[in-house]
Amino acid sequence: MRFWCEYAWLPDGPAAGVAITVDGSRIVSVEPGVPREGTVLAGLTLPGFANAHSHAFHRALRGRTHADGGTFWTWRERMYAVAERLDPDSYLRLARAVYAEMVLAGFTSVGEFHYVHHAAEGKPYADPNAMGYALAQAAAEAGIRLTLLDTCYLTPGLEGGELSRAQRRFSDGDAQRWASRVDDFRPEGLARVGAAVHSVRAVPAEQIPVVKSWAAGRPLHAHLSEQRAENEACLRVHGRTPSELLADLGVLGDGFVGVHATHLTDKDVALLGGSGACFCPTTERDLGDGIGPARQLADAGVMLSLGTDSHAVVDPFAELLALEADERLAAESRGHFTPTELVAAAARHEAIGWPEVGRIAEGAGADLVVVDTESVRTAGSEPLGVPLCATAADVRDVMVAGEWVVREGRHLRIDRPAAELAAVIEELL
């Protein structure tokens, strides 16, 4: 397949008149400055975006938690109420529609931070990975690359105590049993597996190295300092911040991604150099988490990625814009990240174990997103500014691994994703 793009976003920014040749699932040539020819992709063609942090079932809460305020922790109670009702069948139907929404928005991969493993009271399903397989099937049907970040979750908090009824579904008992369950999970097709420590709240320090050693060579994620309360508890119990604790346990470095990384000390930022950090700006503002030091982290050598986390919003343009906009609000100045840096962060498939995807370049995976540059939102913008004024509604075509999944704004495999979302959410709530 050969396409001629009116504009294409190359690793150093947008170029005009770019011919892209795709063979199978790979891009085999990219030629800028070519006269119009053959199959034309009008508008701006970007690399597919990576949703590096997702909890698919949180989507059920969208638009349902604003009326009575509350805190992160009261929001979490509602989220647990949804988790209690999921089973492999309803989770397949919910996640399939959520992943369809993601592809329609321009995401071509998702890192699913998955911790609802077991049936009520923590009883394993006949296949203990039934929930993971439901997510893998959902991703395959929706046409998105999946990294199942299978999550170890053992304790309700740093100061011990009993797991709540909902939390018992998350626990394998200990990290060894978590590892042996995940060993049996065999993804197929466009699915891979990685690991996660839910947080320093949910995995005792002495068990975290078990997860780290299982993850060798795969991505390892952990929620990190999203809330000040987590930092305070960690200081009380361990005399260290969560970043210091993970550093002392040998967890930080290549392959590690701290999710949120919101409330950090200068020392934490330095320790995280050489690791990754996944910001989820639309969720962080929805939950009132705060603004993390994104520029400071990038300057310290942290690889930034982006995720939609709770799916209060599913829109890669909203996340990449917020990465810059939040810095502007916090610093009272403009221009902290270039548009090229923002697009690179939003296309960081490497953070979830797809290093070959995320660039329009020879040899890269053929994941493309074509954006309308003549909508009411984008008309008049120069190509360099389009990612900062487009929204998910401007995504016209999406190719994943060499196959069109979205054409002219329609998902080619799932006819009515909105109706599917409404039906399964009504059933769950």
d(CA 111, CA 240): 28
User: Closest approach of Cβ 51 to Zn ion, in Å?
Assistant: 12
User: Closest approach of Cβ 206 to Zn ion, in Å?
Assistant: 24
Q: Which of residues 351-410 bind Zn ion (CB under 5 A)?
A: none
x/- track of binding to Zn ion for residues 291-320 (CB under 5 A): ------------------x-----------
Shorter beta-carbon distance to Zn ion: residue 75 or 133: 75
Q: Which of residues 205-224 bind Zn ion (CB under 5 A)?
A: none
Active site residue 184: no
Shorter beta-carbon distance to Zn ion: residue 199 or 373: 199
SS3 per residue for the chain:
CEEEEEEEEECCEEEEEEEEEEECCEEEEEECCCCCCCEEEEEEEEECEEEEEECHHHHHHCCCCCCCCCCHHHHHHHHHHHHHHCCHHHHHHHHHHHHHHHHHHCEEEEEEEECCCCCHHHCCCCCCCHHHHHHHHHHHHHCCEEEEEEEECCCCCCCCCCCCHHHHCCCCCCHHHHHHHHHCCCCCCCEEEEEEECCCCCCCHHHHHHHHHHCCCCCEEEEECCCHHHHHHHHHHHCCCHHHHHHHCCCCCCCEEEEECCCCCHHHHHHHCCCEEEECHHHHHHCCCCCCCHHHHHHCCCEEEECCECCCCCCHHHHHHHHHHHHHHHHCCCCCCCHHHHHHHHCCHHHHCCCCCCCCCCCCECCEEEECCCCCCCCCCCHHHHHHHCCHHHEEEEEECCEEEEECCEECCCCCHHHHHHHHHHHHC
Task: Name beta bridge partners: 309.
Answer: 54
Burial class of residue 376 in the structure, from the number of CB atoms within 10 Å of its CB (0-12 exposed, 13-18 middle, 19+ buried) = exposed
Shorter beta-carbon distance to Zn ion: residue 20 or 50: 50
Which is nearest to 182 in space by CA: 144, 139, 153, 223?
153
Which residue is nearest to Zn ion, using beta carbons? Answer: 309
Shorter beta-carbon distance to Zn ion: residue 154 or 406: 154
Catalytic residue among 58, 118, 198, 260: 260
d(CA 426, CA 177): 35
User: Closest approach of Cβ 54 to Zn ion, in Å?
Assistant: 8
Active site residue 415: no
Tell me how far apart the terminal alpha carbons of the chain are, to the nearest angstrom.
Answer: 45
x/- track of binding to Zn ion for residues 45-74 (CB under 5 A): ------------------------------
User: Closest approach of Cβ 255 to Zn ion, in Å?
Assistant: 18
x/- track of binding to Zn ion for residues 85-124 (CB under 5 A): ----------------------------------------
- Give the number of residues in contact with Zn ion, rule: CB under 5 A: 1
d(CA 307, CA 310): 9
User: Closest approach of Cβ 304 to Zn ion, in Å?
Assistant: 16
Shorter beta-carbon distance to Zn ion: residue 114 or 411: 114
Shorter beta-carbon distance to Zn ion: residue 150 or 309: 309
Shorter beta-carbon distance to Zn ion: residue 72 or 125: 72
Shorter beta-carbon distance to Zn ion: residue 312 or 360: 312
d(CA 15, CA 152): 44
User: Closest approach of Cβ 278 to Zn ion, in Å?
Assistant: 9
Catalytic residue among 309, 326, 394, 397: 309
User: Closest approach of Cβ 75 to Zn ion, in Å?
Assistant: 12
User: Closest approach of Cβ 109 to Zn ion, in Å?
Assistant: 17
User: Closest approach of Cβ 113 to Zn ion, in Å?
Assistant: 5
Shorter beta-carbon distance to Zn ion: residue 225 or 378: 225
Which of the residues are catalytic?
260, 309
Binding interface with Zn ion (CB under 5 A): 309
